[in-house]
Chain A
C-alpha cells in the first residue's frame, strides 16, 4: 500500500506539474504581452503571430498537464478525505472533494473544445482575414 506522507509521493514532484507550469508560463507571457502592446497601439506582428499560433500546441499540453495532476492526486484525496464534509451534521449537508474532482475532470470534455475552437476561429479571422458567416439559429 503506498504511503502518502513521505516526500517522494508529493504531487508537486509529478512531471505533469512541470508540464503545465512551463506551458502556462509561456502562454501567459505571450498573452499579456499581446494585451499590453495592443493597449499601447504598437503591436509587433510577431507578438500577434505568437499569440494566435502558440496556443495550438500549448493549450492541449496545458490541459493534459492539469488533468494528469488531478488524476495523480485522486488517491491521496480519497485516503485523507481532505476538504470534505461528512454526514451526520446539524445542517444535513455534505461535500465530497474526491467526487467533485472527478466531475471537474469530466467537465473539461465539453468546455475545452469550445475554448479551443473559439481560438481557432479568432486566429482565422485575425491572421488570415477570413469572413466567417455563422448560421443563425
Chain B
C-alpha cells in the first residue's frame, strides 16, 4: 500500500484543507486517514497505483486526491498522466528540497527516536510550514533554556535564504509570532516542541525606512521652494515669492521633518527591528507624494495668500507649535527617555496625538507674514 510518509502526510492535511480539496466534484478520496465526517461525506475509492516519486510528495498527494472518475478521458490516459502534478497544480518553484538538508527527518526517524527515548533534559524541536504542515526541520538535543533567537539562528543555518529577521516562528499556525527573547522551556510545549514557520519576505530595518521616508520630503520641498526650472517652467525659474508667508511655510515644513529625523535617530525604539521590503515603496510614495503635492501649490507663482489675514495666520502657527510639542512629548513618553526629563520638559506641555495629515490641513489654511518673531505662549527655540 502507501509508503509510511505518504499516509503521514495525509494526516497532516488539516480538516479545512482536505474538505476544500474534496469539494471539487472531480476529486476522489483515496486514503482513509481522515475524519469520520469527511469520510461519510466523500466515500473513499481504493487506490490502484502507487506513487513513484518520493520527492514529489506534495505534488503526488494532491494528484492522488484528483484521481478522475472511472471512464473519464483523464483516467483513460492512464495513471502516469496524473501521478505527477496534474494540470493546474503548481508547487512553489523554490520549495526547499527535502532530503538535501542534513537535519530534515521524516516520521519514521521520529518514531525510532521516541522508541529509544530522548536524552534526559533535552528538548526536540520540529518546525513545520504553517500552511502545508510539511516538516521543514527537526532539531534534537536542544537546550531547554534555548531562546527563540537561537532556534531562528539554527533554522537559518539550514535554510540560508531565510535570515532570522524574516522568520516568523509560532506555536499556532494562525497565531502570533514568538519573540526572540522567549525561552523554550517556558512555552506551553512538551519535550518535543512543534513550531510553525512562516516566511515574512525580504525585510528592511525600521530606522532605514524612516530615514528614507523623511529625508525625501525635506529635499523635495526645496525643489519647489527654490523653483527649479522643471517645476514651474523656465520663465519662473529660481524666482522667489513676494509673500512672506510662503517663507514661513517652508520653515515650518523643514522644521517638522528635521524634528522627525532627530526623533528617528535618538528617540524612537522599535519593537520589531524590521518591516517587509515592499512597504518602503508604498510609504515613500505616500510621504514624498504628499510633500510634492502641497509644496507645488504653496510655492506656485499664482499662489493666493490666506483670505482671513493675520488672525488666520497667527491661529495656524499656534496650532502648529502646539501640535509639534504634543507630538514630541508623546514620542518621548513612549520611549522611556525620562532620564532627560529636565531637557525635554521645556518642549513638552500638552499631551496630544496628532498625525501628519493635520499638518497638511494646517498648511492649506496658510500663513501670512506677521511682523515680529514673537512667540505667543511657548518659549520655543526656533
Contacts and interface: CB of A to CB of B under 8 A. Distances in A.
25 contacts: A87-B297, A87-B302, A87-B303, A90-B304, A90-B307, A91-B364, A92-B298, A125-B88, A128-B87, A129-B26, A129-B66, A131-B24, A131-B62, A131-B89, A132-B89, A132-B90, A133-B89, A133-B90, A133-B92, A135-B90, A135-B93, A136-B92, A136-B131, A136-B199, A137-B199
B216 interface: no
Interface residues of B, number: 29
A137 B86 CA distance: 23
A3 interface: no
Contact of B89 (A87, A92, A93, A130): A130
Contacts of B303: 87-88, 92
B106 interface: no
Interface in A118-132: 124-125, 128-132
B300 A130 contact: no
Contact of A131 (B27, B93, B198, B298): B27
B366 A92 contact: yes
Contacts of A130: 86-89
A130 B85 CA distance: 11
Contact of B297 (A90, A93, A125, A128): A93
Given A132-B90, A133-B90, A88 B199 contact: no
A131 B88 CA distance: 6
B142 interface: no
A88 B302 contact: yes
A5 interface: no
Interface of A: 87-94, 124-125, 128-133, 135-137
A135 B199 CA distance: 11
Given A129-B27, A131-B65, 8 more contacts: A87-B302, A90-B307, A91-B364, A94-B297, A125-B24, A128-B87, A129-B66, A136-B131
A106 to B, nearest CB: 15
Most chain A beta-carbon contacts within 10 A, residue among B88, B91, B198: B88
A90 B89 CA distance: 60
Nearest to A137: B201
Nearest to B21: A131
Contacts of A93: 297
Interface of B: 21, 24-27, 62, 65-66, 86-93, 131, 198-199, 201, 297-298, 300, 302-304, 307, 364, 366
Contacts of B91: 133
Given A88-B304, A90-B307, A92-B364, A132 B201 contact: no
Contact of B88 (A89, A94, A132, A135): A132
B304 A92 contact: yes
Contacts of A128: 87-88
Contacts of A90: 304, 307
A124 B90 CA distance: 13
Contacts of A89: 304
Nearest to B91: A133
B131 A92 contact: no
Contacts of B366: 92
A39 B149 CA distance: 53
A131 B302 contact: no
A69 B21 CA distance: 44
Contacts of A136: 92, 131, 198-199
